[in-house]
Structure 1
Amino acid sequence: MRLWTIGIVTGALLLFAVQVFLFGGYTRELTSLTDQVSQSRDLHQQLRNALESNANLSRLFTRLNLQLGDILGDDSTGQEEHLERDTKAALRGSSQILGSSEAQISQSLAQPQQRKIYPSGNEAEACVGGAHNVKGVVAAVVTVAFNRPDYLQRHVASVLSVHGSDPANRRKFPLFISQDGSPVHEATQQQAQSYEEVSYLHHKELIKPVTKTDKLWDKIAYYRIANHYRWIFQTMFECFQYPRLIILEDDMELAPDFFPYFEALAPVLDQDDRLLCISSWNDHGQEQFVKDTRRLFRTDFFPGLGWMLRRQLWEQELRAGWPEAFWDDWLRDNRTRQGRHCIAPEVCRNYNFGKEGSSKGQYFYMFLAPTRLNDDAVPWPEMDLSYLQLPRFDEELEATLNAAPAADTVAEAQGWIGDVQLYYHTQEHFEALAKALGIMKEWRDGVPRAAYKGVVTIQFQDARIFIAPSPELRSSMQEGINHA
């Protein structure tokens, strides 16, 4: 009996020990599983937060992609600031996952100098503002305005649309409107000051200029324009300290690749002392005379109408001799150019829609209205522009001319396939050929419009026509230019 009792107790103890062992293991496993579930829930919540943050970021970038092309040109105000705030919020959410700091976010979203309305100024007075932060700036962009608010509205809509296609343009190409006039034209001033993306300048007149002759072409407006341009250069270069300046006028629309074009050519301008400017305009850029959207060329004729200048050239040379009037013709004078050239595109990067202005619409319907505005998305950062360098450009032009046969008549040249030359022997002969072809015949100081070494190049159907001086005339023209 006693043994039986002992056996029962021993068995019970063994059974209890087994249960403790088994359930202890279960308990440990259950505890571990509970911990894993808790960790999984934490991971799940972190993952959910991350996905939500990335989803917000994705939605934001989708909004940016859809709206960025139009946001700067929208009539409503403040949308860009809302996008900036949304971007910062999204990046803050992402920074919680990636471990980014608030300082890193602020640095990545650093903005260029904000738009400002400056006090009126004059070229004979002190600066209206001090040096700007020019880090990362390619060129300041100034639109010259006076009294055409409707033109200015159309122009700025185009500028902002193109400028806003790349957010980096806010840093690379700060925008300004400079208005002339005393008293100021109020409707134009109100229009100019209505843009949150564009700073405003006003050039005031201290002394009314006096014309030098009684000729009909000698208008006081041209003296005022020259004074205004002097003040713009002084303000942007000497006061604000921008490295380069792009000058626009209030009757221009821009091509989609306008800013990449100038960005790609800025180092070319800086590195070549034989260059005066970079221009977005071809005087023979009418639809029927152009073809290659990627072709650029050197020209002895200052094109104007959308052009970029370096600060060094202004401060070291142009400032001292700036004329009282007719500043553009002064830049076309060989004594001013000193053998330097401008680079221009075959297909224009701006379109001039202004038929009313100081020139009273001269040549508008015949030469300006038919101009082709580029719509080809040229990848300028990838383009090899070394062909523009000297002496390569000269050597290749010379080889092309030597290989091109000469046509006897305009009709023969127009029906040609490939390269062909039309020789002219005098200025009068050139003007006759230009009239027959339908291109501008104007010369300035021995240089035809858009000519390089006297050669004007146009496309006509299947022909590339070089309107070239005869060998004898070409030699005398170049000699005159070099000794100017």
Structure 2
Amino acid sequence: MRAGVVLLIVGAVLLVLLQVVLFGDYNRELRGLSEHVHRTEGLRNQLQQALEGHANLSKLYSDLDQRLGAAYDRIAEEQAGASATEAALRAKLRGGFRQSGGGLGLGAAPHRKTDAGAQRSTGAAKAHIYPSGHEDEECVGGALDTTGVIAAVVSVVFNRPDYLKRHAASLLAVHGSDLTYRQKFPLFFSQDGTPVHIGTQEVAQSYEQISYLHHLERVAPVVRQRQEKIEYYRIAAHYRFILRTMFDCFRYSRLIILEEDMDLAPDFFSFFEALTPRLDRDPTLMCISSWNDHGQDKFVRDARQLYRSDFFPGLGWMLRNELWQELKGGWPGSYWDDWLRQNGTRKGRQCIRPEVCRNYNFGRDGSSKGMFFSQFLEPIRLNTENVDWLREDLSYLELPRYDDDMAATLAAAKEVGSAQEAEAVAGDVVLRYDSQEHYERVAASFGMLLEWRDGVPRGAYKGVVSIRWGNARVFFAPSSNYVDPELHPEEYVNVDANGAIMRGRSL
């Protein structure tokens, strides 16, 4: 009996020891896992609280955003019926709401969509969502009331919703800085794509101040060479749709064309307003542009300096209805901008462009796949000075005074032969070139964009291109021995890496 009890006790002890040996690590792991679960539960509770706080903050932001938008519309209505208080209310907007509003941006708040075709705003600008349309079919809408309109403004849109949000914020911040701009510059987004990119469409239709158009493609275009990108054909068709809709259907007198990847300078609309009379009365002008191809930070200084250019700049430009009536019969199937740069299209006319750009292209991703973006687009300086262009004396842009001043400047400038020599000079210098090849060599030493179109270098007027370089202003000018490049404007040579046609030596 005693022996049995002893055996039971010994067995129990051995069993305990065996459990400790076999399950000790498991028990420790189980305790550790239990502690980890406890800590994770705590973190989950903290995260839940943070999310609830974020939701409350988002709701607060949304409520405040809607109130600001409503306040903006009420002020616009009051100004429409009380012109005597216009200046005071505008000062209140500039000095009060815009500065205290911070990142909310009084003029940049998106609003809910409305039914297609419905009027979406009060005040001077009547924003609509128009039905889809094709460039060769009936109009998506009839003639609009253009009373008091300087120029309609259309932003070209495709499939980049994040870019469009940034562009819209910049556009509306500048457009909303002066309430009269609603009357003077009605805003439109025109989206391409069949089927349409839904995410971008939702963004484009979410702004009360901006009407919406959609270009519909019935049949895919046929490219002339296998290597070409079809996108360039679709872009040309979309531009034709925009120009025809705004001029032939809506009957606007002038149009400013932007793109969905542009930030705007604070004086953007003042710039175009002041130059509109000059474009209207000067038959030697084809357009007004807010862009300088050589507008990189290292090449510009004077925010008030304007130039004539034989090279069509694009990238933020204004044209008149009369020019469209002249051009629409020959509108090209692709490469519309290079077509405008051909001498046969331009017919000796120029565009006015600034030294410091009034728009900045931030779109690294696009049809050209970011070609030259880091080197030539990213370093562009966007003007930050709010120049009152209506007070500027722009008579120096008139012909023949502009030519006379240019000749006198070149005659008085010191002649140099290199970037190093120019850097050592304060004031105007001239660097003469004998051919396109010579120009490209010397311009490359400055780090400039070298492209020519139909015998015209970018930014040139009568062959003269100007940049700032240190304390000097450098004029690249043809010498007395200059030889024109051999041109083959209608000969398609090959297609470059981006799917664009190269004609002769020009891209």
**Bucket of the pairwise TM-score, normalised by the shorter protein:** 0.7 to 0.9
- Is the contact between residue 111 and residue 208 of structure 2 (CA under 8 Å) also seen in structure 1? no
Structure 1 pair 241/425, CA: closer, same or farther in 2 (3 Å)? same
Match of 1:327 among 324, 336, 342: 336
- Is the contact between residue 187 and residue 211 of structure 2 (CA under 8 Å) also seen in structure 1? yes
Match of 2:188 among 143, 159, 176: 176
Q: Tell me the residue number matched to 2:23.
A: none
Match of 1:380 among 383, 386, 389: 389
1:471 counterpart SS class: coil
CA distance in structure 2 between the aligned counterparts of 1:381 and 1:68, rounded to whole angstroms:
23
- Is the contact between residue 153 and residue 257 of structure 2 (CA under 8 Å) also seen in structure 1? yes
Structure 1 pair 134/388, CA: closer, same or farther in 2 (3 Å)? same
CA distance in structure 2 between the aligned counterparts of 1:167 and 1:68, rounded to whole angstroms:
13
Using the TM superposition, give the Cα deviation of residue 155 of structure 1 relative to its aligned residue in structure 2, in angstroms: 0.4
Q: Tell me the residue number matched to 1:17.
A: none
Match of 1:253 among 263, 270, 274: 263
2:414 counterpart SS class: coil
2:231 counterpart SS class: helix
- Is the contact between residue 410 and residue 422 of structure 1 (CA under 8 Å) also seen in structure 2? no
Match of 2:434 among 413, 417, 425: 425
Q: Tell me the residue number matched to 1:73.
A: 108
- Is the contact between residue 413 and residue 428 of structure 2 (CA under 8 Å) also seen in structure 1? yes
Structure 2 counterparts to residues 184-263 of structure 1, below 5 A: 184-215=196-227, 218-263=228-273
- Is the contact between residue 113 and residue 133 of structure 1 (CA under 8 Å) also seen in structure 2? no
The residue identity in structure 2 corresponding to 1:440 is L
Q: Tell me the residue number matched to 1:411.
A: 420
1:472 counterpart SS class: coil
Moved over 3 A (4+): 56-65, 75-78
Deviations 1:314-344 (A, max 9, x none): 11x1101100000000000000001000000
CA distance in structure 2 between the aligned counterparts of 1:300 and 1:143, rounded to whole angstroms:
24
Q: Tell me the residue number matched to 1:38.
A: none
Using the TM superposition, give the Cα deviation of residue 113 of structure 1 relative to its aligned residue in structure 2, in angstroms: 4.0
Matched, 1:271 2:281: yes
CA distance in structure 1 between the aligned counterparts of 2:192 and 2:304, rounded to whole angstroms:
36
CA distance in structure 2 between the aligned counterparts of 1:446 and 1:155, rounded to whole angstroms:
34
Match of 2:141 among 129, 132, 135: 129
- Is the contact between residue 357 and residue 383 of structure 2 (CA under 8 Å) also seen in structure 1? yes
The residue identity in structure 1 corresponding to 2:337 is D
Structure 2 counterparts to residues 232-381 of structure 1, below 5 A: 232-315=242-325, 317-381=326-390
The residue identity in structure 2 corresponding to 1:256 is P
Structure 1 pair 297/432, CA: closer, same or farther in 2 (3 Å)? same
Matched, 1:111 2:123: yes
Matched, 1:448 2:483: no
1:167 counterpart SS class: coil
1:453 counterpart SS class: coil
The residue identity in structure 1 corresponding to 2:294 is H
- Is the contact between residue 189 and residue 204 of structure 2 (CA under 8 Å) also seen in structure 1? yes
Q: Tell me the residue number matched to 1:102.
A: none
Q: Tell me the residue number matched to 1:148.
A: 160
The residue identity in structure 1 corresponding to 2:425 is W
Q: How many residues are aligned here?
A: 391
Structure 1 pair 57/138, CA: closer, same or farther in 2 (3 Å)? closer
CA distance in structure 1 between the aligned counterparts of 2:450 and 2:154, rounded to whole angstroms:
30
- Is the contact between residue 113 and residue 132 of structure 1 (CA under 8 Å) also seen in structure 2? no
The residue identity in structure 2 corresponding to 1:211 is V
- Is the contact between residue 128 and residue 212 of structure 2 (CA under 8 Å) also seen in structure 1? yes
CA distance in structure 2 between the aligned counterparts of 1:74 and 1:201, rounded to whole angstroms:
20
The residue identity in structure 2 corresponding to 1:269 is L
Matched, 1:166 2:178: yes
Structure 1 pair 385/120, CA: closer, same or farther in 2 (3 Å)? same
CA distance in structure 2 between the aligned counterparts of 1:245 and 1:349, rounded to whole angstroms:
16
CA distance in structure 1 between the aligned counterparts of 2:134 and 2:409, rounded to whole angstroms:
50
CA distance in structure 2 between the aligned counterparts of 1:112 and 1:449, rounded to whole angstroms:
39
Structure 1 pair 60/350, CA: closer, same or farther in 2 (3 Å)? closer
- Is the contact between residue 68 and residue 164 of structure 1 (CA under 8 Å) also seen in structure 2? no
Using the TM superposition, give the Cα deviation of residue 303 of structure 1 relative to its aligned residue in structure 2, in angstroms: 0.2
Deviations 1:168-207 (A, max 9, x none): 0000000000000100000000010011110000000011
Using the TM superposition, give the Cα deviation of residue 232 of structure 1 relative to its aligned residue in structure 2, in angstroms: 0.3
Structure 1 pair 61/222, CA: closer, same or farther in 2 (3 Å)? closer
Deviations 1:434-484 (A, max 9, x none): 11101101000000000011011000110110011112317x58x999xxx
Provide the identity percentage: 58
CA distance in structure 1 between the aligned counterparts of 2:481 and 2:186, rounded to whole angstroms:
48
CA distance in structure 1 between the aligned counterparts of 2:423 and 2:184, rounded to whole angstroms:
43
The residue identity in structure 1 corresponding to 2:476 is I
Using the TM superposition, give the Cα deviation of residue 63 of structure 1 relative to its aligned residue in structure 2, in angstroms: 5.6
Using the TM superposition, give the Cα deviation of residue 411 of structure 1 relative to its aligned residue in structure 2, in angstroms: 1.1
Structure 1 pair 195/450, CA: closer, same or farther in 2 (3 Å)? same
- Is the contact between residue 251 and residue 352 of structure 1 (CA under 8 Å) also seen in structure 2? yes
The residue identity in structure 1 corresponding to 2:192 is D
Structure 1 pair 210/59, CA: closer, same or farther in 2 (3 Å)? closer
2:333 counterpart SS class: coil
Deviations 1:278-319 (A, max 9, x none): 00000000111001100000000000000000001111x110
Higher mean C-alpha deviation, range 415-424 or range 444-453: 415-424
- Is the contact between residue 280 and residue 345 of structure 1 (CA under 8 Å) also seen in structure 2? yes
Using the TM superposition, give the Cα deviation of residue 409 of structure 1 relative to its aligned residue in structure 2, in angstroms: 2.2
CA distance in structure 2 between the aligned counterparts of 1:154 and 1:382, rounded to whole angstroms:
30
Using the TM superposition, give the Cα deviation of residue 58 of structure 1 relative to its aligned residue in structure 2, in angstroms: 12
Matched, 1:460 2:469: yes
